[in-house]
Homo-oligomer: A and B are copies of this chain.
Amino acid sequence: MASSPMAFIPGKAPREAPRDQRSDSPIDTPTDARLGIICGSGVVPYAIADAVVRRGRPVVLFALRGWADATAVQAYSHHWVWLGQFGRICRLAHQEGCREMVFVGGLVRPSIWQLRLDWRTLKEMPLIVRSFRGGDDHLLSGVGRLFEKGGFRVIGAHEAAPEITAPVGALGRFGPNAAVEDDISHGFALLAAASAFDVGQAAVIAGHRVLAIEAAEGTDAMLDRVAAMREARRIALAPGIGVLVKAPKRRQDRRFDLPSIGPDTVTRAARAGLAGIAVVAGATIVAEPQRLVEAADGAGLFVVGWPDPEKPA
């Protein structure tokens, strides 16, 4: 499972929105109004929809054609939309009484030419073109601004349902030992350094050595690469050494591109011969916590939530 609350657009661009976009506190304002969820691929959108509904708040899904899971979407009130139909989404969301929107799920960064632009989107082209230059981070924050101009508040999935993020500490039966903790710190430091370049939400570290860094390929592909290198004996370390470290990019707009992990991440990490997974607590979505813990316990892997370095204790 790749990163999740929409793997494409926040950023380093000048912010127009006045509020602190990184506020991590649960939102206690219009909880009666339906929450609009713009759904990319994967299971995370439904995990979040369920969590929000459990909190007593109704949802409406805007399922992106080509990305959202057609079967999963049917369990919720929903509309199918194309990427780029900003005007249509705004209109439908207003009709549904939404005042807040969440972006969630995988999405491969589209080419600007692949968008099905509607009229309203076209009017906003200068902002969109600007957003398309630069990293994913940059692109997603542009889209965020677009929706704010459209009259919505854009919130993070972790704000709509904080309980879906990783807590501090071990999630399953196993925890990291001291040697691995060293690699975890090393990995988080590397990701922090790389994130100034709008890249590097994940890396694999083993014995203080960086085996892989993620860029456009995504976490799954990176883990598969480590598995392949191990199989080809390009990595000569014994299995059971190494950790997958995932973190949101520093200073990024967490409303869009929070990392996520799920049972599949655990399975791939196990196949890559790793000892475990470390994520940033409160800033990483755990899509199917029970299945994830079962997978981790079964494979003998640890999954640990690390205190958020960007959040004062």
Contact = CB atoms under 8 A, between A and B. Distances in A.
Contacts of A198: 209-210
Contact of A215 (B196, B212, B238): B212
A215 B197 CA distance: 16
A215 B216 contact: no
A210 B133 CA distance: 12
A236 B110 contact: yes
A9 to B, nearest CB: 12
Q: State the oligomeric state as a number of copies.
A: 2
A114 B237 CA distance: 11
A26 to B, nearest CB: 33
B213 A229 contact: no
A210 B199 contact: yes
A28 interface: no
A216 B229 contact: yes
B212 A217 contact: yes
A229 B108 CA distance: 10
Contacts of A221: 225
A193 B199 CA distance: 12
A64 B114 CA distance: 51
Which of A199, A207, A211, A233 gathers most chain B CB within 10 Å?
Answer: A199
Nearest to A200: B213
Interface in A106-138: 108-111, 114, 133-136
A124 to B, nearest CB: 20
A201 to B, nearest CB: 11
Nearest to A216: B211
A272 to B, nearest CB: 12
Given A133-B207, A189-B197, A108 B233 contact: yes
Nearest to A214: B213
Nearest to A193: B193
A92 to B, nearest CB: 26
Contacts of A204: 215
A212 B108 CA distance: 15
Contact of A209 (B134, B203, B212, B217): B134
Contacts of A109: 235-236
A146 interface: no
Contact of A194 (B110, B136, B190): B190
Q: Which 3 A-B pairs have the closest CB atoms?
A: A111-B236, A199-B210, A213-B213
21 contacts: A111-B236, A111-B238, A133-B208, A134-B207, A134-B208, A135-B209, A136-B209, A190-B199, A193-B196, A194-B213, A197-B210, A198-B210, A200-B210, A200-B213, A203-B215, A212-B216, A213-B213, A216-B229, A216-B234, A217-B225, A221-B225
Given A193-B193, A194-B194, A199-B210, 16 more contacts: A108-B233, A108-B236, A134-B209, A135-B208, A135-B209, A200-B210, A204-B215, A209-B216, A211-B215, A211-B216, A212-B215, A212-B216, A213-B215, A216-B229, A216-B234, A217-B234
